Amino acid sequence: MNWTPEAEARLKEIPFFVRPAARKKIEKFAAEAGHNEITIEIYEQAKAKFGSK
């Protein structure tokens, strides 16, 4: 799964110890929605769905 630089930068704001799990969850969310790239918009949608602040 490709990530835009902006989305990758947002991912780095997540604490390192949960980042791998968050990445997998976001990628699964995007794949289920038919996307093959994580953009900032998709990142924000996933964040809203999973209740992250």
Domains and CATH numbers, the chain: 2-50 (1.10.8.550)
For residue 27, list its beta bridge partners: none
Does the pLDDT value for residue 36 go beyond 70? yes
The token duo for 32 is 């289920």
17 Ramachandran zone, left/alpha/beta (phi>0; psi -120 to 50): alpha
Q: Is 52 helix (H, G, I), strand (E, B) or coil?
A: coil
Does the pLDDT value for residue 52 go beyond 90? no
Average per-residue pLDDT for the chain: 94
